[in-house]
Structure 1
Amino acid sequence: MRNVNLLILLFVLALFSFEGMAKQFYRYKNSDGALIIKDQLTNEMIAVGYDILNDSGRVIKRVGPGKTLAEEEQERLSKIEQKKAEIQLQQKIRSDAELLRQFSSIGDIIRNRDAQLLALEQRIKIQESKSDLLKLQLEDQQKQAATHERLGQNLPKLLQNDILATRQQLVRNEQNSNLLEDEKIKVASRYEKDIVRYKELESLRKTLKKDAKENDGSQPVIYDCPDPRVCQRAWQLAQVYAKDNASGQIEIITNTLILTSKPEKDTEIALSFSRIPAPNNGNQIVLEVSCNNTEQGVNLCKSNQVKKVRTSYLSFLKERLN
């Protein structure tokens, strides 16, 4: 009896082992459209896709076509570009947040810019004063050298060293002055970018609040561009409108910002146009009118005169774009 039970156990284990070792087959269509079944995967199967069959011929799983090496490389590069774009977006968000935290208005940015430029200009003048003194010093040293030569005397070593040192100081001074001039250009460029970006952010904020009830005459006027070609034409017309209606001259013109000089008197107005993204990959052009930061200036911005400047803009565009 014991032997019989042992035989039954061995038989059951054999059945399980057989099922566990059940063979799988792979079926695919070759380039001629014929169904091919094999017991091993091939590169051709992976490329075109295949079915996994059990030993009874039943489909266990369907596997789609594999990616080519070129497709895998393209996918890898796309992921890298996507990651770069995400990092750049985060950097831009942090930069925008810092810009808004640091400045409360474009006027603040301009004042900071002018202060830095003035400091650099003063340093340049100091360098120029040093150079003038060094030139006088060199001239005196050269006169001493000429006297020694007329007397037929050898030029003293100390005087030779002094002349060489003065010339070297003049060269260093000139280099420092050039570096400071380059820094002035960089500072002006950096602050111009800050002004443009701040205005874009300010316009976006005002656009989002355009339905709010405002009584100070500062509501923006928004033109929704129907397509890129018309938007470019409208942007060119915005420059004309700014020249014709602002009190001062245009100070900044970029692809996204037109800004006239700020009002200095209570009777002056400034215009700014911002081209900002809109829903559905479109663009909007936002007109803002500003006045001097005084009681009279505030009243001017509430006046019919300024109201007409704002309300006439869309009709101005309509007449010229149709």
Structure 2
Amino acid sequence: MRPRIITPIILFILFLPPTALAGKLYKWVDDKGQTHYTQTLPPTDAHRARSHLDEHGIVVKEVDAAKTEEELQQEAEQKRLRQEQQRLVEQQQAQDRVLLRTFRSADDILMTRDGQLQAVDTSVRVTQANIRRLKTTLEEMQQDAAKRELRGRSVSKRMLQDIEIKRQALEDAYSSIIEREHDKNRIRQSFARDLKRFRELKKLEQSDDPIQKARDSFDHALQNVYHCQSGDNCEGPWQRAKAYLKAHSTTPVKIEGDNIVITGEPMEDDDISISVSRIDDPKRGSLVIFMDLQCKIISLQKRLCANGEAINRIKQGFRNELAKAGDLSQSLP
């Protein structure tokens, strides 16, 4: 017969008094890797992983080591992230249900989007008409002030204040147009996401990327807006913008201030009137230079200009021209 091997734990139990076998027996490992068998767990080792043994040395219960503060924080963070993930899943499911109830087809989404864009465009056209009136009024007021000075009469403080009020109103109108373009961009982006998700839910073919298309449309719409670097007063780009205006406008400069330059109204079919202004963009918290182009409209229905191609070229070159000044200023010591 093979000799019976007696393990240390069996030896330990054999030499325990009978009363000890009725209680708990702990098996645990200290920092040095030594295994201990004790009837009681020392308070200093209460945080350790341990096994509960019965009188036969069989493990009846396992207790994990107490979690450290870092482990507890990680566990709490994992729980928070799982809850946030579940919230996002439920939110997406709710949005999907609303999307499918609201629109019957992709065409419905496009029609609704176009309706909202048209409403913003109507607001822009009203603002543009107001800009034309403001420019005419401001030009007349400045001409009147110039005539007074030529006759040796002083320009009253009230007249100067009225001129400044009109000039500020004009800058506010330009700011409003920029804000409306941001509104149109938000509309395009929102409906582009809806359209993409609708096609996914309906398992329709994704012929193009509506989100990228919306971004490209916004970029094209703001070709006449140059965003200055944060904290920059735009002085370099502003000087280049004024030079750009004088190089491309077919009408003479009528108003030139610190932050706005306006040329005369278009009189001939191929005239191009340009205005540039340096204004605040509250959405970005920085200055922008805005270029406004006007021409003599030859078709009210489609609002066409006789010199439409030239206007497009001027718009396309505007930001690149001003960016040269920005690059130059950054390279200077």
CA separation of 1:67/1:254 partners in 2, compared to 1, >3 Å: closer, same or farther?
Answer: farther
Structure 2 residue matching 1:35: 3-state secondary structure = strand
- SS of alignment partner, residue 48 of structure 2: helix
Q: Which amino acid aligns with 1:252?
A: D
Alignment partner of 1:252 out of 209, 212, 215? 209
In structure 2, what is the equivalent of residue 151 of structure 1? Answer: 151
User: CA separation of 1:254/1:143 partners in 2, compared to 1, >3 Å: closer, same or farther?
Assistant: closer
How big is the shift at 1:90? 0.8
| Number of the residue aligned with 1:230 | none
Is the 1:131–1:173 contact (alpha carbons within 8 Å) kept by the matching residues of 2? yes
> 2:47 aligns to what SS in structure 1?
helix
Per the alignment, residue 199 of structure 2 pairs with 199
CA distance in 1, matches of 2:61, 2:119: 73
Contact 2:53–2:59, Cα closer than 8 Å, also in 1: yes
Q: Which range moved further: 93-102 or 66-75? A: 66-75
The offset of 1:253, in angstroms, is 6.4
- How many Å apart are 1:52 and its aligned residue? 6.8
Alignment-derived partner of residue 63 in structure 1: 62
CA distance in 1, matches of 2:154, 2:198: 67
Structure-2 separation of matches of 1:51 and 1:40: 11
1:47 alignment counterpart: 48
Distance in 2 (alpha carbons) for counterparts of 1:60 and 1:156: 101
Query: How far has the Cα of 1:29 moved from its partner?
Result: 3.2
Q: What does residue 87 of structure 2 align with?
A: 87
Partner Cα separation in structure 1 for residue 147 and residue 88 of structure 2 = 67
* Separation in structure 1 between the aligned mates of residue 182 and residue 122 of structure 2, nearest angstrom: 14
Rounded Cα–Cα distance in structure 2 between residues aligned with 1:96 and 1:41: 58
Compute the displacement of 1:179 (Å).
Answer: 0.5
The residue aligned with 2:247 is none
Post-superposition offset of 1:138: 0.3
Q: Does 1:122 align with 2:122?
A: yes
Measure, in 2, the Cα distance between the counterparts of 1:42 and 1:52.
Answer: 19
1:105 aligns with 2:105: yes
The gaps in structure 1 that reach 5 residues or longer are 1-18, 207-219, 221-238, 240-249, 256-322
User: Structure 1-normalised TM-score?
Assistant: 0.52
Q: TM-score, normalised by structure 2?
A: 0.51
Alpha-carbon offset, residue 26 of structure 1: 3.8
Identity of aligned residues (%): 22
Given that residues 138 and 167 in structure 1 are in contact (C-alpha distance below 8 angstroms), is that contact kept between their aligned partners in structure 2?
A: yes
Query: Does the 8 A contact of 2:24 with 2:52 survive in 1?
Result: no
Displacement of 1:25 in angstroms is: 5.8
Residues 1:75 and 2:75 aligned together = yes
Kept after mapping to 2: 8 A contact 1:99/1:194: yes
* Structure that is richer in helix per residue: 1
Contact 1:28–1:45 under 8 Å retained in 2: no
Contact 1:26 1:41 in 2 (8 A): no
Show CA shifts across 1:41-69 (max 9, x none). 4454533223277xx89889523222532
Q: Spell out, residue by residue over 1:74-116, the C-alpha distance to the aligned partner (whole angstroms, 9 max, x if none).
A: 2211111100001001110111111111111100000001111
Aligned-residue RMSD, C-alpha = 3.0
Which residue number corresponds to residue 250 of structure 2?
A: none
Distance 1:135 1:197 in 2: 45
After superposition, the C-alpha distances for 1:129-169 in whole angstroms (9 at most, x for unaligned) are: 11111000000000010011111111123211210110111
Counterparts in 2 of 1:1-322, with a 5 A limit? 26-30=26-30, 31-37=32-38, 39-42=40-43, 44-51=45-52, 62-69=61-68, 70-203=70-203, 251-252=208-209
Q: Deviations over 1:282-305 (max 9, x none)?
A: xxxxxxxxxxxxxxxxxxxxxxxx
Change (3 A) 1:38 1:149: farther
Q: Shift of the alpha carbon at 1:71?
A: 3.0
Cα distance change of structure 1 residues 43 and 195 upon mapping to structure 2, 3 Å threshold:
farther
Aligned length: 190
When residues 167 and 149 of structure 1 are mapped into structure 2, their CA distance, relative to the original with a 3 A threshold, is same
Q: Tell me if structure 2 keeps the 8 A contact 1:27–1:38.
A: no
The alpha carbon displacement at 1:35 in A equals 2.3
CA contact (8 A) 2:53 2:61 kept: yes
